[in-house]
């Protein structure tokens, strides 16, 4: 039995901007997705936790329920359109609608021996990154748009990356460039229906001890204690003027703003949460 917590995210400071909202958060079993689910419940939302890794999804659900929130899990690989649609259908069947979709699932997909420069990457590395980052976002947007159009309201938050201007991650950069394009294109198409879509761009982030239960490559064992210390520079990373990595909670704060009515006149935009690191295309 998970012990109840008095507060899931103190940054909310008592705010209840998502009271009564139904949110689907992909990749919510750890990292930015977990922090976002916690912040959403702190602000009054009900959350559908979508993840391919059941132990992580169950852990977050138990945390939210122990706090007094309402949460369900959906287990599956949403890089296919069938599974993405099944996720949105499950949320609608369980809760009647979807007010918020957070397309967090993804991350740089590195395979051993895949090389560093783009032309040295293996086809498996390049395709793995596109499947893991572009299609997971594309199919979930495709599946949720008709639901939000029918409702006459909704907010979609996609996760971008500084890698679009970085080195050593060609497939990942290509996929995240596509996510950026999905955001700007759908913002125009969905605007007449009062559906907003925006982009959050994290940079290097720390992870709490034990947060990382699974890596981005299925079957790979995560490092002891979860993810190691987050770098603040290097050849593949834009330098961070604030000279420290961010935290998942800092990213979740930006996601929550875009999900809330505080951002009711904001669509097609990007927010960089990178300590001053340059992240524009």
d(CA 146, CA 166): 35
Q: Which of 205, 213, 184, 211 is nearest to 251 (CA)?
A: 205
Catalytic residue list contains 67: no
Which uninterrupted H or E stretch holds 90?
Answer: helix 81-95
Catalytic residue (one of 172, 177, 196, 256) = 172
Q: Which contacts (CB < 8 Å, 24+ apart) does range 253-257 have?
A: 253/11, 253/39, 254/200, 255/32, 255/36, 255/39, 255/102, 255/157, 255/200, 256/12, 256/17, 256/18, 256/36, 256/39, 256/40, 256/43
What is the rounded distance in angstroms from the CA atom of residue 249 to the CA atom of residue 255?
10
Number of Cα atoms under 13 Å in the Cβ half of residue 90: 20
Task: Quote the Cα angle for 88-45-86, to 5°.
Answer: 10
Angle between helix 31-42 and 54-67 (nearest 10): 20
Which residues are the active-site residues?
172
């Amino acid at each position: 039995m998970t012990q109840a917590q008095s507060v899931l995210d103190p940054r909310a400071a008592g705010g209840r901007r998502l009271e009564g909202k139904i949110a689907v958060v992909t990749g919510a079993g750890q990292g930015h997705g977990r922090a976002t689910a916690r912040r959403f419940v702190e602000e009054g939302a009900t959350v559908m936790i979508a993840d391919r890794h059941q132990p992580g999804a169950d852990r977050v659900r138990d945390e939210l329920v122990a706090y007094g929130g309402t949460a369900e899990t959906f287990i599956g690989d949403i890089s296919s359109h069938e599974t993405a649609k099944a996720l949105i259908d499950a949320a609608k069947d369980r809760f009647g609608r979807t007010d918020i979709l957070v397309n967090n699932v993804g991350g740089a997909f590195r395979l051993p021996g895949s090389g560093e420069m783009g032309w040295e990457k293996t086809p498996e590395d390049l395709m793995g990154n596109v499947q893991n980052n572009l299609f997971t976002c594309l199919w979930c947007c495709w599946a949720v748009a008709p639901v939000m159009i029918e409702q006459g309201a909704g907010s979609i938050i996609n996760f971008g990356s500084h890698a679009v201007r970085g080195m050593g991650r060609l497939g990942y950069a290509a996929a995240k460039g596509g996510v950026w394009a999905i955001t700007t294109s759908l913002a125009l198409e969905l605007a007449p229906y009062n559906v907003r879509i925006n982009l959050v761009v994290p940079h290097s982030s720390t992870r709490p001890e034990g947060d990382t239960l699974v890596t981005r490559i299925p079957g790979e064992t995560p490092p002891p204690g979860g993810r190691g210390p987050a770098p603040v520079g290097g050849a593949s990373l834009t330098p961070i003027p604030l000279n420290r990595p961010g935290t998942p909670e800092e990213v979740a704060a930006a996601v929550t703003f875009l999900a809330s009515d505080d951002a009711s006149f904001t669509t097609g935009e990007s927010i960089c949460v990178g300590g001053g690191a340059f992240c524009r295309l």
